[in-house]
Amino acid sequence: MSVRQIYRMYASRQLKPVILQHMEVIFSHTTALDFLRMWSCNHPLALRAFHDLRSRDVGHLPSSHLKGFSSLARAADTEAAVRAAIESAKRPSLKRMLEELWGNATVERPLHVLARPKIGRHSTKRVCFHQLAAPLPRGAFLEIAPGVAVCSPELVFVQLAETLPMGELIALGYEFCGCYPLEANRSGALVRAQLTTPARLSAFVNRVERMKGLRKARIAVQFVYAKSASAKETEMDALLMTPMRWGGLSLPPALANEPVALSEEAARIARGDRVVCDLLWPQARVAAEYDGLAFHGGRHQQARDSRRRDALIADGFDVVTVTSSQIDSVSEFIEIADALSRKTRGRTPVRPVSFLDRHLQLRHELRAFHHQHFPPVSPSEEGDA
């Protein structure tokens, strides 16, 4: 039955009004992820505001800007109802985007929509229905416009845990809790807004019940840290701080993109009263600095990075520089991790024979996620950065 036929039936009172009134399409899974990424890009943060973020800061999150709810009572649960909800969108820009999504929906890449369980409901060529009966914590859905909602970042994290390997799920968590460049692999004055925090992510996965992938989500969320500034930084951080059991190098937790106030002498070197460390272990006074041409804005930025390192050294910090090629080299990166372990823990860890296989698997999964969602720039683009 087409949408036009439904409206004709409605006009002739053959269809009860409740079917067409107050229906909400709730996008889920990868469709919700696409919407959340768009929201993140459309609500950017200034670099300084990003660097100054603290774990309790939530005013910039979508949950603080959008109406939240957790009931599926009014969820559109047929293709016709989904189509009707899309057609009823009032904001022109949103309606154009929804119409484009609808037009491009296929069996291979359908729109993912959440609905209440119902016997006999099946997905269609355009819409993949995900039926959910488990009670959901408050704020599981976020309304982006009247009649249109998306699953929250926390709920999407659990939903995608069903199909994503552990490394890819960790990468997704870093993305949700980080502030990546607006343009892939490019730095700039503005960055994407953080979508959630590790604390909120952890609280949600511990409150939700009876969902597929929940056990994996509860494990992965323990290894997610805030404020990664790029996909490559996520790769470095996750490889360093994920426990050895899951292929990481088991370094102590560190602060990412953390501002450090400088002494007068160091401030003269840095030409500013503070610097921002890519990774910081404040108690050990150890910093790891990622030196990547494409990700840190080119040669001019590299000069500033050099002054930053010199300023940290002047203030008594032990600074370890990590390049992109070193991250890509398994043996070199493990040597760097061992050096950081000695500086932060006073010892080199003992690894089991099976560690290397798990480490390579984690590397592969992190890289697979980033290559799919944040493709690397070409050498020519890198040189122009």
- Cα dihedral: 197, 199, 203, 204 (round 10): 10
* pLDDT on residue 13: 44
Could you tell me if 144 and 232 lie in one domain? no
How many CB atoms neighbour CB 372 within 10 A? 10
Per-residue pLDDT at 381:
42
pLDDT of 95-146, one tens digit each? 999 999 999 999 999 999 999 998 888 899 999 999 998 889 999 999 999 9
* Span 151-204, pLDDT tens digits: 999 999 999 999 999 999 999 999 999 999 997 656 678 999 999 999 999 999
pLDDT at 24 over 70: yes
Confidence (pLDDT) at 8: 53
Do 367 and 282 lie in one domain? The reply is: yes
Cα separation, 335 vs 356, whole angstroms: 13
- DSSP assignment letter at 209: -
Of 31-35, 40-44, 87-91, which range is least confident?
87-91
Helical packing angle, 355-373 and 330-345, nearest 10°: 110
Query: Which of the listed residues 151, 183, 205 is the one where a domain comes to its end?
Result: 151
Q: What is the pTM of this model?
A: 0.89
pLDDT at residue number 134: 86
pLDDT at residue number 291: 83
Q: Are residues 379 and 246 in the same domain?
A: yes
CA-closest candidate to residue 276, choices 76, 124, 49: 49
Q: How many domains does the chain have?
A: 2
> Does 365 fall in a domain?
yes
pLDDT at 22 over 90: no
Same structural domain for residues 247 and 122? no
At residue 184, the pLDDT reads: 64
Question: 287: exposed, middle or buried (C-beta count within 10 Å: 0-12, 13-18, 19+)?
Answer: buried
* Across 241-260, average pLDDT: 97
Predicted local confidence at residue 120, as pLDDT:
83
Residue 382: pLDDT band (50, 70, 90) is very low
The whole-angstrom separation of Cα 139 and Cα 64 is 10
Single residue among 119, 151, 183 that ends a domain in this structure: 151
- The pLDDT score that the predictor gives to residue 89 is 87
pLDDT exceeds cutoff 80 at 206 = yes
Residue 281 sits in which domain range?
A: 228-384
Same domain, residue pair 30 and 134? yes
* Residue-level pLDDT at 298: 56
Take residue 245 and report the two structure tokens written for it.
């059991």
Q: Is pLDDT of 272 > 50?
A: yes
| 198, part of any domain | no
Shared-domain flag, residues 370 and 234? yes
Side chain identity, residue 89 = A
Question: Is pLDDT at 273 greater than 90 in this prediction?
Answer: yes
Q: Is residue 235 part of a domain?
A: yes
pLDDT at 239: 98
Lowest mean pLDDT among 15-24, 41-50, 331-340: 15-24
Judgement on whether residues 18 and 127 belong to the same structural domain of the protein: yes
How is residue 243 annotated by DSSP? -
Mean pLDDT for the chain overall:
89
The pLDDT > 90 percentage for the chain reads 75
Residue 176 belongs to a domain: no
Position 304 in a domain: yes
Residue 345 confidence (pLDDT): 94
The pLDDT value recorded for residue 293 is 57
> What confidence tens digit (pLDDT) does each residue in 211-235 have?
999 999 999 999 999 999 999 999 9
* 9, pLDDT greater than 90: no
List the single range of 13-22, 296-305, 343-352 with lowest mean pLDDT. Answer: 13-22
Q: Which pLDDT score, from 0 to 100, does residue 189 have?
A: 86
Is residue 102 included in any domain, yes or no? Answer: yes
Q: Does 295 map to a domain? A: yes
Is 80 exceeded by the pLDDT of residue 1?
no
Q: Last residue of some domain: 109, 124, 151? A: 151
Residue 203 lies in a domain: no
Q: Are residues 271 and 364 in the same domain?
A: yes
Q: What is the pLDDT of residue 384?
A: 40
Model pLDDT, residue 306: 83
Same domain, 233 and 356: yes
Cα–Cα distances (Å) from 50 to 45, 151, 298, 352, in that order, read 6, 24, 20, 39
Higher per-residue pLDDT: 11 or 34: 34
Q: Which of 189, 201, 254, 225 is nearest to 50 (CA)?
A: 189
